[in-house]
Amino acid sequence: MCAAHVPTRISNVLIMNRRHFIKQSSLASSLIFVPNFMRAFEQISPQHLGYKRLVMIQLSGGNDGLNTIVPFNDDAYYNSRPKIAIAKTDVLKMTDDLGFHSSLLPLKRLYDDGNLSVINNVGYPNPNRSHFRSTAIWQTASAADEYLQTGWIGRYLDAYGTSPHNAIEIDDSLSLALKGETNNGIATKNPNVLFRTSNDPYFKNILAHQNDTHLSEHNLGYLYKTMIDAQSSAKYIFEKNKTATNAVEYPQNAFANQLKTAARLINSGMETRVFYTSLGGFDTHANQVNSQKRLLSMYAEGIEAMVKDLKSQGSFNDTLIVTFSEFGRRVKQNAANGTDHGAASNVFIIGNQLKQQGFYNDLASLSDLDPNGDLKYTVDFRAIYATVLNKWLEVGKQNIINPSFENLNFI
């Protein structure tokens, strides 16, 4: 465990937060909940935030990358998966060697439009095959033998965030990814519900009766501050959400609903840099063919609707969608017509500003596997994060990602 590059404290961030929040949120009515000492910063001009947005999607459970991006000319692939391999005739052929699962037809359209980059063999050294641990590694951007207690988005918020709604998880609770040392994102599946919750008359009255003295207190002050932030952000999200619309129909499922909410908030022009979503159910140990087929359809159709929605409202140029899974699956199928936990897998980058459209790199060899029979990684996921931070969110990666990871060239 070596946490040397992780920030312990970022001074002045909170002050910046408040100043920026007050200036930018234009919530005159919420000011009654904001204590006086915070109002003092109103006059200071806000830093420019920019409006590039990142949407992170976790395919939770470990998506089988090899049946997603299929090496349809590789005998090793078919030999390892006699019962579950995708037949060559069913594959949407993209290159001479690689094709998409047929459920990914909507994604093929994005590919053809130059809006998709597929990075193969993404992983990290000494891969961990536990969902919990590997998810934590991806969310905290740690090494396999390093235990971080803040998420990479959380550390981004520590350094550059101004209020919880700068990073929104479209869910009911917040993942480690969005928890920083001093700042956190906020989770909401439904801005109206979040607003109702935060707008409880009892809480409102408690905050309305607050004076400044409490907020300087150590832990209790932190609770009051969090309450104020929560209420302000909930109100901000609610009001922004109200002003925006979705321009296209989305499929009827929970995942599409997440994307719909995210797209709507993006289209509202709100100050959120990161949206975090997930699609679960990929832990296909048994009878994987049908369930993965349904999940990938759900994924691809949802994405297509979102991209259309963003395009039609002019916000696709400023949106980057990154899809990952905590690990891929074993090359060899198991006896239950499924696959067990593996290691490296593919990451999808979707956007309008891609430097390298199509396949970013070749698929790793299926005959040179690690001792567990899993794909060897060739791209470290933290290099993708570093690139996104540097080239997309346009911030330094110091204190967020281990600086030893060089930027990649996909954007």
Partner 1 sequence: MERRDIQHLYARAGFGASKPLLDASVSMKKKAIVDHLFETSEAIIPLEIDLSAFTNLSNQDLKNKALIRELRKKSRGELQTFNHRWMERLHTSEGVFREKMTLFWANHFVCQDNNIVYAQAYNNTLRTHALGNFREFVKAISKEAAMLRYLNTKQNRKAKPNENFARELMELFTLGVGQYSEKDIKESARAFTGYNHDLKGDFKFREFQHDAGEKVFFGKTGNFNGDDIINIILEQKECAHFICGRIYRYFVNDNVNNKHVEALTEVFYKDYNIENLMRHLFMADWFYEENNIGSKIKSPVEFLVGLQQLVPFTFDKTKDLIKIQKLLGQVLLYPPNVAGWKGGKNWIDSNTLMLRLKSPSIILANTHISIQEKGEFEDSFDKFYSESKKKQFIKATIAWEVFDKTFDGVSYDELQSYIILPKISGGTQSYLTSLNQNSQRNFCVQLMSLPEYQMC
Please give the structure tokens belonging to residue 291.
């369930």
- Read off the DSSP letter of residue 99: E
242 binds partner 1 (CB under 8 A): no
Question: Contact 259/303 with Cβ under 8 angstroms?
Answer: yes
State the Cα–Cα distance between residues 306 and 181, nearest whole angstrom: 32
Piece in contact with partner 1 (CB under 8 A), picked from 10-18, 65-73, 176-184, 354-362: 176-184
State the Cα–Cα distance between residues 20 and 12, nearest whole angstrom: 12
Measured from the CB atom, is 74 or 229 closer to partner 1?
A: 229
DSSP strands (E only) in 215-355:
274-280, 319-325, 345-350
Q: Which of 102, 190, 390, 399 binds partner 1 (CB under 8 A)?
A: 190
206 binds partner 1 (CB under 8 A): yes
Question: Contact 117/349 with Cβ under 8 angstroms?
Answer: yes
Question: Contact 15/41 with Cβ under 8 angstroms?
Answer: yes
* 141-160 footprint of partner 1 as x/- string (CB under 8 A): ----x-x-x-----------
14 binds partner 1 (CB under 8 A): no
254 binds partner 1 (CB under 8 A): yes
Measured from the CB atom, is 172 or 406 closer to partner 1?
A: 172
Q: Which of 125, 220, 362, 404 binds partner 1 (CB under 8 A)?
A: 220
Please give the structure tokens belonging to residue 266.
């993006």
Q: Which of 30, 63, 80, 198 binds partner 1 (CB under 8 A)?
A: 198
Q: Which of 123, 127, 151, 164 binds partner 1 (CB under 8 A)?
A: 164
Measured from the CB atom, is 230 or 363 closer to partner 1?
A: 230
Q: Which of 314, 191, 323, 324 is nearest to 260 (CA)?
A: 191
Q: At residue 381, what is the residue type?
A: F
Provide the residue count of the chain: 411
7 binds partner 1 (CB under 8 A): no
Number of residues that bind partner 1 (CB under 8 A): 61
- Read off the DSSP letter of residue 329: B
Coil, strand, or helix at residue 339?
coil
Q: Which of 233, 261, 323, 346 binds partner 1 (CB under 8 A)?
A: 233
Measured from the CB atom, is 40 or 208 closer to partner 1?
A: 208
Coil, strand, or helix at residue 266?
helix
Q: Which of 91, 104, 107, 174 binds partner 1 (CB under 8 A)?
A: 174
Q: Which residues of 311-322 are buried (b: 16+ CB within 10 A; e: fewer)?
A: bebebbebbbbb
Question: Contact 120/361 with Cβ under 8 angstroms?
Answer: yes
Piece in contact with partner 1 (CB under 8 A), picked from 12-20, 93-101, 167-175, 368-376: 167-175
Binding site for partner 1 (CB under 8 A): 1, 60-62, 131-133, 135-136, 145, 147, 149, 164, 171-176, 179, 184-187, 189-190, 193, 197-198, 200, 202-203, 205-206, 208-211, 213-214, 218-220, 222-224, 226-227, 229-230, 233-234, 253-254, 278, 280-281, 283, 291, 294-295
